[in-house]
Amino acid sequence: MVEAGHENPSPAPGPEAVPDVSLAIPCFNEESVLRSTVLRLARAFEEIRVDLELVLVDNGSRDRTGQIIDELVATGLPVIKRTIAVNRGYGYGILTGLAACRGRIIGFLHADGQCEARDVAKVCDVALHAARPVLVKIRRRFRMDGWRRKVTSLCYNAATNLLFPRIGSRDINGSPKVFPRECLAAMNLKSHDWFIDPEMMIRAQAVGLDVIEINVLSQMRPGGASHVDTSTCWEFVINLWRYRFASSRSRATASRPVSVFNDAQEHAVEHAD
């Protein structure tokens, strides 16, 4: 276990170096957990010898989150800072971070440490060594939530799979979600709010990415407070409805597979079948 104040696990890559993995982390009032989350991630990736870049997005925080990010950068950790002066939504923070990611594999996760750092590293390692481009994510098992949150999550995942049966996931919002950087433009993500998770799943399949879920044990949030509330649930419902029943032209575009593989990759897949 790595705690604040210990020797830095891994220095930041040089400006010309392309990291193996870049992870965007939207940070909204996460002063109580952010330092510990970053240190644990740096140590976990060092253990598997994967070059890591963390893009920490101060998503309009009103506490010391921005200052803590500055301190992490100053210590030489593999951290890049992006700042959004006024919070424009969870998804906007993720998109801002993804745009700054330079790694071969990119993705995002929460700042709250509810996914154990070694599990994050495992997810990224699977994506790095996949035979073809894939989106890899976690499925949280034995979540330590109250019964209301569990019922809400069950209904939300069921409704999403009913409207978008190709998704086939029981944990739509499980993160990290990681994928090859060259797929980002083709996915054309637009959500600035909490709908970013299902949109990413829908668009990943639309561009031809297989989705791999890895079972992990959910962790207790070590500090701070969740930003999911009743309004977030209504936001999910409205966005699911709008996205599913968009114009016929938009639906056709979203459902038509778009290849993200080059000729060599397609040749390798054909001969592997």
List, for residues 221-245, the tens digit of each pLDDT value. 555 555 555 566 677 777 777 877 7
Decide if 97 contacts 25 (C-beta within 8 A). yes
**Nearest alpha-carbon partner for 11 in 47, 57, 51:** 51
Mean pLDDT of 5-28: 74
For residue 10, pLDDT beyond 70: no
Question: How much is the pLDDT for 141?
Answer: 82
User: Residue 113 is encoded by which pair of tokens?
Assistant: 């440490």
Question: How much is the pLDDT for 164?
Answer: 85
| Residue-wise pLDDT tens digits, 196-210 | 999 999 999 899 999
In a domain? residue 13: no
In a domain? residue 195: yes
Backbone φ/ψ region at 5: left (φ over 0), alpha (ψ -120 to 50), beta: left
* 3-class secondary structure, 121: helix
**Structure confidence at residue 29 as a pLDDT band (50, 70, 90):** very high
More confident residue, 238 or 219: 238
Count the domains in the chain. Answer: 1
Q: Token pair 């060259």 is at which residue?
A: 182
For residue 270, pLDDT beyond 70: no
More confident residue, 157 or 206: 206
In a domain? residue 2: no
For residue 53, pLDDT beyond 70: yes
For the ranges 65-74, 172-181, 202-211, 261-270, the lowest mean pLDDT is seen at 261-270
Q: Residue type at 240? A: L
Question: How much is the pLDDT for 156?
Answer: 77
Range of the domain at 100: 21-272
Mean pLDDT of 191-198: 92
Mean pLDDT of 246-268: 41
Question: How much is the pLDDT for 181?
Answer: 98
In a domain? residue 213: yes
In a domain? residue 14: no
Residue 172: count other Cβ atoms within 10 Å of its Cβ. Answer: 21
CATH code for position 236: 3.90.550.10
Question: How much is the pLDDT for 249?
Answer: 43
More confident residue, 163 or 80: 80
In a domain? residue 76: yes
For residue 87, pLDDT beyond 90: yes
**Mean of pLDDT over the chain:** 82
**Nearest alpha-carbon partner for 111 in 10, 227, 199:** 227
Max distance between CA atoms of the chain, in angstroms, equals 56
For residue 26, pLDDT beyond 60: yes
Q: How far apart are CA 101 and CA 118, in angstroms?
A: 21
**Nearest alpha-carbon partner for 120 in 67, 43, 65:** 43
Question: How much is the pLDDT for 5?
Answer: 38
Question: How much is the pLDDT for 72?
Answer: 98
From residue 116, give the alpha-carbon distance in Å to each of 113, 124, 200.
6, 13, 22
Q: Residue type at 164? A: F
In a domain? residue 4: no
For residue 217, pLDDT beyond 90: no
**Structure confidence at residue 220 as a pLDDT band (50, 70, 90):** low
DSSP letter for 202, please.
Answer: H
In a domain? residue 94: yes
